[in-house]
Structure 1
Amino acid sequence: MNKKKSVTISDIAKRVGMTTITVSRALSKPDLVKPATLARILEVARELDYVPNAFARGLKRSESLIIGVITASVDNPFYSEMIKAISREAKQHGYTIMLVDTDELEELESKAVDTLLGYRVAGIILSPVSDEPSYQPDYLERLGNGKTPVVLLDRTIHDSPFSRVVLDNYHSGIQAAHYLLRQTPDLKRLLVLTGPAHSRITVERLKGLREVLADHPHIQVEVQAGDYTLMPSYLHTLDYLAEHTAPDAIMGFNQLITLGALRALRMHNIPHDSLTICGIDRLPFADIFGVPIACVAHDASLAGSSAVRLLLDRLEDPYKPRDKVVITGVLENG
């Protein structure tokens, strides 16, 4: 099976009937080109699926020793640990990484994909801005042509053809629920702070939690959906505490969410050890400050290194079937 030939500036120039100089200027310095000319060139570039090559024109894709990494947020400690593991594993195989932080913005994610394709990276490890079933980004077709191997990490894109490394979120919800019941036998009110309501991660963690709590119908479960950052959980917890006494227990769906809840408790002068708290994944350096919060911890380093190995497998055999690695969490400080 022959690989699709990369589209060049010359191909675009032939299609629009202009010189390569004009096309090159339109793509690199659009302000120097007449609007009508620019519009025509950009239209043809999109039709031909042109991706600018940031390396020398003679560079073959098979010679690239760069792995592109796209992450939704380097602020997340779990993601930082995964990225470190990706870099370490890549170096062991002679690769370096090119990291792009999309700051949870869809348009930046799309640009990041184009940038990495332009650099002719060997492959891409992608943690998308959303894992909601409705999220179908415009770059899927560009990545799905099979020329550049892709591995999804933690968050996945619904019904996409890529290999993936995911967490066992359902099992994590089950473990957290059992801990909360053991730690608080008289549990009556539970505040659950989650990521986006339709996120696959949120849905699976809630599913595991509710399955265990189904045998305890007297427990009042208050679910507050936000995102995977600190501020929404902080505000939700503040609002809850303004209207209610402290709950018997709080569960946070990642480290930043748990930290937001702890911050709100502190604002209300409620000691963190006066109620049961359980989170997903470790709070960084919490033990140093004498705050050993129970959590279901996933091995972020294993997740990152596994993503690199899946990518290398695809580079070795481009036609290998889609693969999947599942990282199971372990209860700590519980």
Structure 2
Amino acid sequence: MSKKTPVTISDIARRVNMTPVTVSRALNKPDLVKPATLARILEVAQELDYVPNAFARSLKRSESMIIGVITASVDNPFYSEMIKAISREAKKRGYTIMLVDTDGSEELEAKAVDTLLSYRVAGIVLSPVSDEPAYQPAYLSRLSNGDIPVVQLDRALPDSPFSHVVLDNYHSGVKGARYLLAQSPNMQRMLVLTGPARSRISEERLKGVKAAIAESGKPVQLDVFAGDYTLEPSHQSTLDYLRNHPMPEAIFGFNQLITLGAMKALRDRNIAHDSVAICGIDRLPFADIFGIPIACIAHDASLAGSSAVKMLLERIGDRHVPKARIVIVGELENGVGV
């Protein structure tokens, strides 16, 4: 089947036997066209399934009503909720989002930036593939020296000049560890499943865990396994751990997918999830439907997303607004016995 060619203003003009200028005026400034002429042009436009080229229109006006959103993982439920909030908030102000999922690839992230810049988007909400100190992508200087506002969400590039919305990672680690310690007064081992070892998010959360253990004064053996914020590495790490170590009294997963990976490993080994204290960072999606209220340090993903786009829109309106930082605080949910 051949691909349908988009209908242009010239196509409509030929059909109604008028000039393209008249058709363009009717579609963009209908109050300047005679009612009969306008009615005829709109009728034909509908018959031909004419769709306005918003991109071309924005180039003419030297403006865009598109906000670019670059995310490293749309399959992460927390990110999906943030993106939904971004879209809703953008719509309120007449903007449309253009979403690019980099799937954790540095190469795809660089291409995403190039694509959004070529579309002359009004601004970019960026959640980079990495927040490790060594990660300094080549596109950073282009964004820094350009006139398109950028707001970072969840992950922030080291030493970047952009405003950002981040989570209170240190205190999330503290709160989760305190909860687990309270669940097992005689705890000997805690298994902690993190994101990438050099990720600043993981480092801050782990600092919080260690601070809580030191505060408790308990001689807890802390066993730490790094992953990549997805399910399968934590699943394999937990299986390997259970084969080679005594059963831990507690498991702490540093995001929903990591926590789910650990629970999958427990199921593979026929270990009941309620036989060990479990806490994750951010809510497990739909877990309560199945009667599995896993404790978590929950952050408001919708607030994070809406805060990021509001911050971006502020900078679209005024390019001289100074750099700012918003921190989303997490709170314990589904905690048993607290």
Query: For the superposition of Structure 1 and Structure 2, which TM-score range results when normalised by the shorter chain?
Result: 0.7 to 0.9
Give runs of aligned pairs for residues 97-112 of structure 1, distance below 5 A. 97-112=97-112
Is the Cα–Cα contact under 8 Å of residues 314 and 320 in structure 1 kept in the other structure? yes
The answer to which of 286-295 and 214-223 deviates more is 214-223
The answer to which of 271-280 and 173-182 deviates more is 173-182
Is the Cα–Cα contact under 8 Å of residues 183 and 276 in structure 1 kept in the other structure? yes
Describe the SS at the equivalent of 1:284. coil
Matched residues in 2 for 1:223 and 1:189: separation? 11
Q: Which residue does 1:237 correspond to in 2? A: 238
* Root mean square deviation, CA, Å: 1.3
Describe the SS at the equivalent of 2:84. helix
Unaligned runs of 5+ in 1: 1-53
Q: Which residue does 1:174 correspond to in 2? A: 174
Is the Cα–Cα contact under 8 Å of residues 58 and 64 in structure 2 kept in the other structure? no
Give deviations 1:36-95, integer Å, cap 9, x for gaps.
xxxxxxxxxxxxxxxxxx943981575200000000010100000000000000001110
Q: Give me the identity figure in percent.
A: 72
Give deviations 1:86-140, integer Å, cap 9, x for gaps.
0000001110100000000000000000000000100000000000011000100
> Any runs of at least 4 consecutive aligned residues in structure 1 with deviations exceeding 3 A, and if so which?
54-58
1:205 and 2:219 correspond? no
Is the Cα–Cα contact under 8 Å of residues 150 and 312 in structure 2 kept in the other structure? yes
Give deviations 1:255-296, integer Å, cap 9, x for gaps.
000000000000000000001000000000001111110000
Q: Match for 1:269: what amino acid?
A: N
Describe the SS at the equivalent of 1:97. strand
Matched residues in 1 for 2:64 and 2:247: separation? 55
1:275 and 2:276 correspond? yes
Give runs of aligned pairs for residues 154-173 of structure 1, distance below 5 A. 154-173=154-173
Give runs of aligned pairs for residues 35-74 of structure 1, distance below 5 A. 55-56=55-56, 59=59, 62-74=62-74
Describe the SS at the equivalent of 1:94. coil
Q: Which residue does 1:49 correspond to in 2? A: none
Matched residues in 2 for 1:158 and 1:296: separation? 25
Larger Rg belongs to: 2
Q: Which residue does 1:228 correspond to in 2? A: 229
1:87 and 2:83 correspond? no
Aligned length: 281
Matched residues in 1 for 2:62 and 2:204: separation? 39
Q: Which residue does 1:37 correspond to in 2? A: none
Q: Which residue does 1:306 correspond to in 2? A: 307
Matched residues in 2 for 1:57 and 1:308: separation? 23
Q: Which residue does 1:254 correspond to in 2? A: 255
Is the Cα–Cα contact under 8 Å of residues 55 and 64 in structure 2 kept in the other structure? no
Matched residues in 2 for 1:265 and 1:212: separation? 25
Q: Match for 1:93: what amino acid?
A: R
Unaligned runs of 5+ in 2: 1-53
Q: Match for 2:317: what amino acid?
A: E
1:287 and 2:288 correspond? yes
Change (3 A) 1:122 1:60: farther
Is the Cα–Cα contact under 8 Å of residues 194 and 226 in structure 2 kept in the other structure? yes
Q: Which residue does 2:123 correspond to in 1? A: 123
The answer to which of 69-78 and 311-320 deviates more is 311-320
Is the Cα–Cα contact under 8 Å of residues 62 and 122 in structure 1 kept in the other structure? no
Is the Cα–Cα contact under 8 Å of residues 86 and 306 in structure 2 kept in the other structure? yes
TM-score by length of 2: 0.81
Is the Cα–Cα contact under 8 Å of residues 67 and 122 in structure 2 kept in the other structure? yes
Matched residues in 1 for 2:87 and 2:202: separation? 28
Is the Cα–Cα contact under 8 Å of residues 68 and 125 in structure 2 kept in the other structure? yes
Describe the SS at the equivalent of 1:98. strand
Matched residues in 1 for 2:126 and 2:188: separation? 40
Is the Cα–Cα contact under 8 Å of residues 58 and 65 in structure 2 kept in the other structure? no
Q: Which residue does 1:323 correspond to in 2? A: 324
Give deviations 1:155-181, integer Å, cap 9, x for gaps.
000000001000000010110111011
TM-score by length of 1: 0.82
